Structure 1
Amino acid sequence: MSAERYLLVVGTGPKEYREGIFRSLSGSRIWLLTDRDPTWQREYVSGHTVIPRLNSAQVSTNISSLLEAVRNLAESIAIHGVLTFEEMFLSATCRIADELGLPSLGHGVAENCRDKERTRRLLTDAGVRQPRFAFARTAEEAAAIGEQFGHPVVLKPRGLAGSIGVVMARSAADTEEAFRIAASAARDGAQRHGGGALVEQFLAGPEIAVDCAVTDGRLEPMYVVRKRLGPEPFFEEAGHSIDADDPLLSDADLIEMLRSAHTALGIRTGVTHTELRLTPDGPVIIEVNGRLAGDFIPHLAKLAMGLDGASIAARLACGEPAAVERSARGSAAHRIVYADRDGTFNGIGLPSPESHPNLVASGTLLAGGTEVTLPPRGYMARLGYAIVAAPTADECEASLAAAVADMPVDLTPSR
């Protein structure tokens, strides 16, 4: 066996969102578990193992094959830590870590986060503020719960991510259709959490997220994310912003709520991504995810605060000290340009850096000729993006709005 120690990374995700993370980890020796030969990842990894059909269905129904592949790998290389940045691989990654005796949330704790109904029950038992909820197995049950809670309500699958299948219902009739959407998304996703839908009280207010580093049960917030959501009744995330001087980062009540939630779920080590609503009566927990934030959020944290969440996650996965260090004080934000109708995507204009001095990056997220459909027929109809950074949050938002206004979309509507 080689004396070199490797960080085992399970899955990658799209290049646009994940290349920056792999670049952050390039100082480590990375061994990648993937379902196909690496392309852009090759620059950042020392080796890889291809596991065909490594996806949500494979992980949830055939974990034994994955564990066998890892055992074989561990006979030839020294695995120092195991990490994933993908929600669908979280439970499997923790199973691998448990198998190898390495740090992680632990498989049971990962399931506390992945199964949203289980999350709700554990937080309720601990007295952590959250929406009223109930699990519905039929559309009729969902409608009855909606009448009990009072509309609007939110319906969601128990175990997906990216707001897929999450929909608001404003009436009993809407609730039955929303149940169909959420339950259908669950059936198409991780089968272990399939069937039925979670029905939750809708709470008004801005939505935020807080990413935290947890070491031996000690929680430290890394950054606060302000969210921009797409049009109702769906909850697709259309943009995020991070400000180094966000007052919520030092809000004692919010931090205590986060600590209580993490304790209730059994989280003692790792990086987490907690989503909350800021209601008129105070913050409430929407969900707790046992991994680093997705989208461009880790990149925004680097731009605004000089904070490298991916490196912190890697160090914790390897059982190493992971101080939350910030080296900048600014603001950064990104916006996703979505399709506004079904159709064929032809292209999108990109803003000129010369005309937008705070622009950090922009790009296209779909190939020309791609058919796009809006929820509930399809999700993530993302066409392009823009990322900006500026000294203040106000300047950042103004720069971002100007950049997005300079991104015309060419889409041929469906007939």
Structure 2
Amino acid sequence: MTNDHPADGHKPLLLLIGSGAQIWREYMLRAMATRYRLHLLSQATPTWESPYIATYSTVNTLDPEAMIKIAKGSPEDFAGVLTYEETRVESAAVVATALGLRTSPVEAVHACRDKFAGRQALKAVGVPQAESIAVGDFEEARQAAERLGYPVVVKPRALSASNGVSLVRAPQDLAEAYREATAIWFDEVPTYERPVLVEEYLDGPEISVDAVCRDGLVTVLFVARKRIGYAPGFEEVGHLVRADDPLLGDPVLLQVLQDAHTAVGLTDTVTHTELRLTSAGPRVVEINARVGGDRIPYLGGLATGIEVGLVAADLAAGALPRTTASRQRVAAIRFLYPERDLTVESVDVDRERLSTEIHDVQVLAGPGRQLRLPPADHVRCRYALVVAVAATEQECEVALTRAAAAVVVRGAPLD
């Protein structure tokens, strides 16, 4: 199917696998479309994506062979293949490899999807990280926790966004953490004989780093400081990006990032790496062969002027991405959660109470939606998000706190 604009005919054509949800990824498509035409491979007929794409095909986007067939049957050659969906990164690597286009090796991308495979690759060359043991049942989990020593972290092997991740401080809490790690699952997530990881707990604040890896060389785009809540879980309740973050020039952190990418074998991809700044230095939590979620790349663009959508598109097409900041701001996002479990009746925004630093407010839950706080549910229990842009961290935080009070959720309590 086509949606071509005549003036766009000179733009290179990219194959985009999946589009994600509008509220989380529209800014990516908007940026890509300024320089490229996009042929979207989608599970269903596009809706909100239509203004940004030139053509599309409906296909199972977890079936590389079906997508390769479509790509090879195209009347026009593709300049590159890309995706920003976690569950599609391996398929995208397979398709790009088959078409002879720039990508990281499939095995390297797989090592990012399978958290234990990634751990093993990092361990083999001594990249600082948490010690990790894959387990297949509770007894193995108990033995692993005893071997590592409490506290430990228990997490699913293949999920993201801190789903099912718990801090376990004592043996009596292990059974519940193991149950949570095995109870949370999603379609399109691979299964493993040993599906749970028991890991050493790392102290210190957690950060994420979005970067571009080109020909194996890592260039950091920006650092996000995480806000974590709902202990003993690790719910990501907010993020903050500073264009002048001192970590951008930290030689130890930069070396750890480069070593981690080299260890798993990544060569050409945008990445999202999570780390803990421990008392012994930065240590890797995980490395992902995709851009960050939770609108972190959006914050990066607001703070630095770097459009990650364009960076990813340029990289896929073989062009040299622009990675230099053109802006010096602070951008932050806060996710809003109800005080207790409830069925939503309304979410109202008093926009007259929003300060000038508030860049965006989005309602995430409509009437009838059930919101259950962690650990019963995770990111899906947010009822709104607010984004602030300012000159300082303090100005952002003040604006977000005021904005949170201006967004009111009403509903009936859940038993």
Shorter-normalised TM range:
over 0.9
Other-structure match for 2:198:
199
Residues in 2 aligned to 1:126 and 1:351: alpha-carbon distance in whole angstroms: 53
- RMSD, matched Cα: 1.8
2:69 maps to 1:71: yes
Is this contact kept in 1: 2:67–2:95, CA < 8 A?
no
Other-structure match for 1:330:
329
Q: Which structure 2 residue ranges, 5 or more long, are not aligned?
A: 1-8
Residues in 2 aligned to 1:38 and 1:14: alpha-carbon distance in whole angstroms: 11
1:3-402 equivalences under 5 Å are 5-27=12-34, 28-51=36-59, 54=61, 59=62, 63=63, 66-76=64-74, 77-186=76-185, 190-193=189-192, 195-352=194-351, 355-380=354-379, 381-402=381-402
Tell me the amino acid that sits aligned with residue 66 of structure 2.
E
Partner SS state of residue 349, structure 1: strand
Rate the CA distance shift 1:344–1:212 in 2: closer, same or farther, 3 A.
same
TM-fit CA distance, 1:186: 4.7
Residues in 1 aligned to 2:350 and 2:95: alpha-carbon distance in whole angstroms: 44
Residues in 1 aligned to 2:175 and 2:99: alpha-carbon distance in whole angstroms: 45
Residues in 2 aligned to 1:366 and 1:149: alpha-carbon distance in whole angstroms: 40
Is this contact kept in 2: 1:350–1:363, CA < 8 A?
no
TM-fit CA distance, 1:188: 5.7
Tell me the amino acid that sits aligned with residue 40 of structure 1.
W
Q: Report Cα offsets for 1:37-96 as digits up to 9, x if no partner.
A: 1111001111111125x4xxxx2xxx3xx4224323431232211111111111111111
Is this contact kept in 2: 1:183–1:194, CA < 8 A?
no
Q: Select between 43-52 and 14-23 the one with higher mean Cα deviation.
A: 43-52
Is this contact kept in 2: 1:331–1:389, CA < 8 A?
yes
Query: Which TM-score applies when normalising by structure 2?
Result: 0.93
Is this contact kept in 2: 1:353–1:359, CA < 8 A?
no
Rate the CA distance shift 1:171–1:360 in 2: closer, same or farther, 3 A.
same
Partner SS state of residue 339, structure 1: coil
Partner SS state of residue 191, structure 1: coil
Tell me the amino acid that sits aligned with residue 73 of structure 2.
E
Residues in 2 aligned to 1:194 and 1:40: alpha-carbon distance in whole angstroms: 39
Partner SS state of residue 322, structure 1: coil
Calculate percent identity across the aligned residue pairs. Answer: 36
Q: Report Cα offsets for 1:309-365 as digits up to 9, x if no partner.
A: 111111111111113121110100010112343321122232425641101010101
Tell me the amino acid that sits aligned with residue 81 of structure 1.
G
Q: Select between 339-348 and 107-116 the one with higher mean Cα deviation.
A: 339-348
TM-fit CA distance, 1:187: 7.3
Is this contact kept in 2: 1:345–1:411, CA < 8 A?
yes
Partner SS state of residue 270, structure 2: strand
Partner SS state of residue 383, structure 2: strand
TM-fit CA distance, 1:197: 0.3
Is this contact kept in 1: 2:93–2:103, CA < 8 A?
yes
Residues in 2 aligned to 1:354 and 1:413: alpha-carbon distance in whole angstroms: 27
TM-fit CA distance, 1:304: 0.8
Q: Select between 33-42 and 4-13 the one with higher mean Cα deviation.
A: 4-13
Residues in 2 aligned to 1:188 and 1:321: alpha-carbon distance in whole angstroms: 36
Rate the CA distance shift 1:118–1:139 in 2: closer, same or farther, 3 A.
same
Is this contact kept in 1: 2:335–2:384, CA < 8 A?
yes
TM-fit CA distance, 1:185: 2.5
Residues in 2 aligned to 1:390 and 1:289: alpha-carbon distance in whole angstroms: 29
